[in-house]
Amino acid sequence: MAAILDRVGSRVGAMAQEITAAEAAQFLPDEMHDSELVSIGNRVIPIALRYLRTGGTPTDDELQAVRERAEQRAREGVPLSLVLGLWQRGFQLVFDECLRASEGTGDGPALGWIGAVGFRVQEVFVAELVRAYQRERAVQSDELTGGPQFVGRLLLLGHDPRADAERLDVRLDLAYHVLAVRLEKTPGELSAERAARDVAGRRKLHRVQRLFRADGGPAMLSMLDRDGGTVLIPVALYPVDDDDERLRRLVAAIAAAAGAPASAAVVEGVARGEIKDAAVEAQEVLRVAVALGRPAGLHRLADVAVAYQLSRRGPGAQRLSETIRPLLDQPDLLRTLRAYLDCDLDRLRAARALDVHPNTVNNRLNRIEGLCGTSPFRTEGIVALYAAVTAHAVEGG
């Protein structure tokens, strides 16, 4: 028997790699394959082989690795069926290697021993895995149905959360920064496999949510999903400053945790009773910043004030949009007008940005004037065209 297990032990690394080829692994993000699955295999397979030799069962310390991984998978929302499928594949690989190693040895009794002990060891591992997974899911369920998220949603609805906050042991602040957040997709969320996309999205959200866990003081109240949402940040934790540097670092940390670009807009120092309106404003500022193609990061109303005002619905905004209606079926002209405005009316820079001759820009601007009846060379016309292009962009054009 020792000879069989010695041969199998020499192939631990190869078996750990083979786990990534399991059918269940194909529904997980690529980021889990080469690092986590292989690491787990290299850690757990030697433990299993040790007890195939002795006939014992893993110690509590050795089972800790199983508990930690099960809890992590539960927090990330990986289905229990996938988790069990991967562990089953690992044990199957070990037994298959034992079968191959025993060929020609005639050591049937040893193989029978390995099979019997292997089933017992597997039973111990799987039972511990399921218990840890279900325990963590119960904790997650409690968090979703109570605590900071529930209190935060009460504030977003304009309700007084004090009684519920006291009942749920959530410390409130007198005022909050209201942060609207948009999270881009990670590579894993663009997978062709729906299950892999779902797992990648849950992993991303879990990494971001860890930033908001309470560590003394008033709680940070996160109402995020995998695409973004709203976070209420206690002013006591993030005092108001002139350059928003701490909030900018927080948004950068959100992007780093997500593994994807993050854009955010903030309304600062909002009293609890005014959070509902501030949240609407923050989301609208964020929408405008994204529509204008502003880079990822933190935005404030002051950064997009003109576009924000132009985005207000009404006859004025509608009339502005109609100014460039003749250009909507002329994409080259609309693109040229945008480049001209983005380049501060510098026709040479606009030509370089468009990769065309400067005369082409001049000709197109003249055509724009003829179609729209508004001159891109005069102050009044420039203001009108800028307002029209901005309003059109914010409306989703």
Mean pLDDT lowest for which of 49-63, 153-167, 288-302, 372-386? 49-63
- Which of 309, 336, 354 is the last residue in one of the domains? 309
Measured CA distances, 301 to 266, 286, 289, 306, 371 (Å):
8, 9, 9, 9, 33
Query: pLDDT at position 86, please?
Result: 77
- Which of 279, 309, 339 is the last residue in one of the domains? 309
> Is the same domain home to 203 and 287?
yes
| pLDDT tens track for 182-199 | 999 999 898 878 888 888
> Is the same domain home to 292 and 328?
no
Query: pLDDT at position 168, please?
Result: 84
Query: pLDDT at position 22, please?
Result: 53
Identify the domain containing residue 363 by its residue range: 312-394
How many other C-beta atoms lie within 10 A of the C-beta of residue 331? Answer: 9
> Is the same domain home to 290 and 326?
no
Report whether 394 contacts 288 (CB < 8 A): yes
* Across 35-60, average pLDDT: 69
Q: Give how many domains the chain has, as a whole number.
A: 3
Residue 298's beta-bridge partner residues? 264
> Is the same domain home to 285 and 317?
no
> Is the same domain home to 261 and 357?
no
> Is the same domain home to 162 and 221?
yes
| pLDDT tens track for 336-348 | 998 999 899 999 9
**Helix H or strand E encompassing 152:** helix 147-156
CATH number of the domain to which 380 belongs: 1.10.10.2840
On the question of pLDDT at 74 being above 60, the answer is yes
> Is the same domain home to 287 and 153?
yes
Residue 235's beta-bridge partner residues? none
- Which of 115, 142, 169 is the last residue in one of the domains? 142
> Is the same domain home to 136 and 225?
no
CATH number of the domain to which 83 belongs: 1.10.490
| pLDDT tens track for 102-113 | 776 666 677 676
> Is the same domain home to 305 and 316?
no
| Residues 227, 186, 32, 254, CA torsion sign | negative
Query: pLDDT at position 279, please?
Result: 96
- Please provide the DSSP assignment of 26-66 as one string: GGS-HHHIIIIIHHHHHHHHHHHHHHHHH-----HHHHHHH
Tokens encoding 78: 């990986």
Query: pLDDT at position 350, please?
Result: 93
* Across 346-360, average pLDDT: 93
CATH number of the domain to which 295 belongs: 3.30.70
> Is the same domain home to 323 and 390?
yes
Beta strands in 249-364 (DSSP E): 262-271, 297-299
At residue 97 the predicted structure's pLDDT band, cuts being 50, 70 and 90, is confident
> Is the same domain home to 13 and 70?
yes
Tokens encoding 279: 């949240």
- Residue burial 44-64, b: 16+ Cβ < 10 Å; e: rest: bbebbbebbeeeeebeeebbe
> Is the same domain home to 9 and 69?
yes
Query: pLDDT at position 8, please?
Result: 60
| SS3 call for 242 | coil
Query: pLDDT at position 390, please?
Result: 83
Residue 264: alpha-carbon gap to chain centroid = 14
